[in-house]
Amino acid sequence: NAGVTQTPKFQVLKTGQSMTLQCAQDMNHEYMSWYRQDPGMGLRLIHYSVGAGITDQGEVPNGYNVSRSTTEDFPLRLLSAAPSQTSVYFCASSRGGRDGYTFGSGTRLTVV
């Protein structure tokens, strides 16, 4: 199994540009989440989903949109990139219960 696949691994954007970070899982997990990791801040939840067609906001949702049209895919859209969105982004999935989350390898995004 591939697990959780994130693309791209690295990205540089100019301020004001938009882009989509891709996330796909092949484990038939219902729960999926997007996090950003900044130095000294741990992981902060951006958006999450408990199943296809169901999404909700996390701790830091502003400037990001998500959709969940299938169980497998959970893309994260940056609407108008800002330097404050420079971060490492992680996608994760879980089947819930006592299982932990399986993480992707991350996308390192720089906004100049």
Partner 1 sequence: SQELEQSPQSLIVQEGKNLTINCTSSKTLYGLYWYKQKYGEGLIFLMMLQKGGEEKSHEKITAKLDEKKQQSSLHITASQPSHAGIYLCGADRTPTYKYIFGTGTRLKVLA
What is the nearest approach in angstroms of partner 1 to the Cβ of residue 77? 20
E strand residue ranges, the chain: 4-7, 10-13, 19-25, 31-37, 43-51, 54-57, 64-66, 76-78, 87-94, 102-103, 107-111
Question: Of 79, 45, 47, 83, nearest to 63 (Cα)?
Answer: 79
Q: Nearer to partner 1 by C-beta: 17 or 30?
A: 30
What is the nearest approach in angstroms of partner 1 to the Cβ of residue 11? 16
Q: Nearer to partner 1 by C-beta: 81 or 104?
A: 104
Contacting positions for partner 1 (CB under 8 A):
4, 31, 33, 35, 40-45, 48, 50, 56, 58-59, 90, 92, 94, 98-106
Q: Nearer to partner 1 by C-beta: 47 or 111?
A: 47
